[in-house]
Structure 1
Amino acid sequence: MEHDLAQIMSTVARNLEAEPDEQQTLASIVQAAVATVPGVRFGGITRLQRKRIDALVPTDERVLRSTEAQEEVGEGPCLDAVRGQQTIVADDLGSDTRWPRFAARAHELGVGSLITFQLYVQQRTLGALSLYGKTGVRFGDEARLVGEVFATHAALALSSARQHRQLNEALMSRDAIGQAKGLLMRQHGITGQRAFDLLVLASQESNIKLTEVAAWLVSEHEEPRGSRPRSGE
């Protein structure tokens, strides 16, 4: 089993290097987990987004419906995993008393069992990897160990994507503010510090973020309002 898993993870790691974006990377991880973890039929990533949960890269429509059901009734294993429990196993959702309202919905969807792993890096919870099976499937130690390997990969992928977005946003913000400062310095013959102070003052007076004020100023310079084509032209 250890040799097979090492070979599978080696193949997955090589494939992930070629994936161009976050969605495809996560989809590859989930598909590999579904194909590898014993007893699993389908799966997906559950992500906490502004106090609500979303299903990412589901391999089956029932993953979406299950996530929506947990969101609607306010309970379920994916919610618990996202909120702090590292690994949750439900071998028979139909008789599970931890989430009675969700259990009823799961039965309607044909979801029999589930194992979900919290996705986290450095004490920061990013979501959960949720893997679904038939009724009566018992997720033992092997399923836990293999699933945790894929969960680690998914957590790192989510963290990397978030850091990449934040870096891009920071670079764009820096560039916009730098351009706006340069415009004010040339137009009014003022220092860089004075130009920055004017941007801050405009942000405070208008109650608009500094980066948005800077972006607007640059946009107005590149395409003055009077030079824009009128509607219908």
Structure 2
Amino acid sequence: MSAGDKTTGARLAALARELFEHGEQSGEPTLLTSVTDSAVDYVDAADFAGITLVDNGTLTSVAPTDPVAARLDELQHELRQGPCLEAAWADHKVLVDDITTDDRWPRFARRVVEETAVRSILAFQLYRGETAMGALNLYATAPQAFSTDDQETALAVATHASLALHTSRRGEQFTSALASRDVIGQAKGIVMERFDVDAVAAWELIRKLSQDTNIRVADVARQLVEADHPARQRDLTT
């Protein structure tokens, strides 16, 4: 292994630690900004970067490093075609060596040439689930800009980003689950007090109300707690 390879490996290891720290401590928005900033820093050919997120069919462009990246992501959302959407929905990697000669997305290619100086595009799928996916989008003004080394480095950045995003989202889901559990516990307490029943009977009442109204148990519990709150406030002030 050459000295240069060792240096790159050390930098990517540091990047992995940084992304995980951002995901755990600062949340997803800060993490995504760190991903695009790091992509431009680590991938020599990249002039701009952005991220496309797709949740339940809704497209969102986040953390662009420059207005150019924001505009290119916006164009793909508007036209519903382009390399970044292709990467997010179907392919792990999409490479455009020269947008002026690429015929895969003619409407998008025409607008890119008309509105920007970008000629090369590299997109990697960030993560994929049943209803959520994304892509890391790198843009360069030079044609055939992304060398094999650039592509390998971009893949490493995207891989680290995917792992960090997965960890961050799992943490958010866990926090949300804890909050829901607490609300359900409060609602059970309210039902137990109002109807003079035990915890099992209170849970059955809440679950039946959820089934009858076709509303999630957590939402039924939240409504019960919110409805009881004014009464408790009056009790405290009298």
Q: TM-score, normalised by structure 2?
A: 0.86
What is the RMSD of the two structures over their aligned residues, measured on CA atoms?
2.4
Instruction: Sort the Cα spacing of 1:17 and 1:70 in 2 relative to 1 into closer, same or farther, 3 A.
Output: closer
Work out which structure has the larger RCO, using CA pairs closer than 8 Å and 6 or more positions apart in sequence. 2
1:76 aligns with 2:82: yes
For 1:41, the equivalent position in structure 2 comes to 47
Structure 2, gaps ≥5 residues long = none
Percent sequence identity over aligned pairs = 35
For 1:51, the equivalent position in structure 2 comes to 57
For 1:120, the equivalent position in structure 2 comes to 127
For 1:230, the equivalent position in structure 2 comes to none
Q: Which moved more, 1:41-50 or 1:119-128?
A: 119-128
Instruction: Sort the Cα spacing of 1:181 and 1:209 in 2 relative to 1 into closer, same or farther, 3 A.
Output: same
- The total of aligned residue pairs comes to 228
For 1:206, the equivalent position in structure 2 comes to 213
1:24 aligns with 2:30: yes
Give the aligned residue type for 2:195: H
Report the Cα distance in structure 2 between the residues aligned to 1:226 and 1:175, rounded to whole angstroms.
20
Alpha-carbon displacement from aligned partner over 1:141-194 (angstroms, at most 9, x marks no partner): 101110011001111122112111211121111111111112211221212222
Report the Cα distance in structure 2 between the residues aligned to 1:180 and 1:123, rounded to whole angstroms.
32
DSSP 3-state at the match of 1:45? strand
**Equivalent of residue 144 in structure 1, options 151, 170, 179:** 151
Report the Cα distance in structure 1 between the residues aligned to 2:208 and 2:154, rounded to whole angstroms.
52
Instruction: Sort the Cα spacing of 1:5 and 1:81 in 2 relative to 1 into closer, same or farther, 3 A.
Output: same
1:130 aligns with 2:137: yes
For 2:10, the equivalent position in structure 1 comes to 7
| C-alpha contact 2:84 2:137 (8 A) present in aligned 1 | yes
DSSP 3-state at the match of 1:224? helix
Structure 1, gaps ≥5 residues long = 228-233
**Equivalent of residue 99 in structure 2, options 93, 101, 106:** 93
Report the Cα distance in structure 1 between the residues aligned to 2:225 and 2:173, rounded to whole angstroms.
22
DSSP 3-state at the match of 2:169? helix
**Equivalent of residue 112 in structure 2, options 93, 106, 113:** 106
| C-alpha contact 2:56 2:131 (8 A) present in aligned 1 | no
> 1:77 Cα deviation (Å)?
0.4
> 1:123 Cα deviation (Å)?
9.4
| C-alpha contact 2:53 2:132 (8 A) present in aligned 1 | no
Report the Cα distance in structure 1 between the residues aligned to 2:110 and 2:163, rounded to whole angstroms.
34
For 2:180, the equivalent position in structure 1 comes to 173
Instruction: Sort the Cα spacing of 1:133 and 1:22 in 2 relative to 1 into closer, same or farther, 3 A.
Output: same
Q: TM-score, normalised by structure 1?
A: 0.88
Report the Cα distance in structure 1 between the residues aligned to 2:126 and 2:210, rounded to whole angstroms.
37
DSSP 3-state at the match of 1:31? helix
> 1:117 Cα deviation (Å)?
0.7
For 1:231, the equivalent position in structure 2 comes to none
For 1:220, the equivalent position in structure 2 comes to 227
Q: Which moved more, 1:212-221 or 1:198-207?
A: 198-207
Alpha-carbon displacement from aligned partner over 1:40-78 (angstroms, at most 9, x marks no partner): 101011111220321121101122211221122121101
DSSP 3-state at the match of 2:76? helix
Give the aligned residue type for 1:31: D
| C-alpha contact 1:126 1:159 (8 A) present in aligned 2 | no
**Equivalent of residue 198 in structure 2, options 171, 191, 195:** 191
DSSP 3-state at the match of 2:65? coil
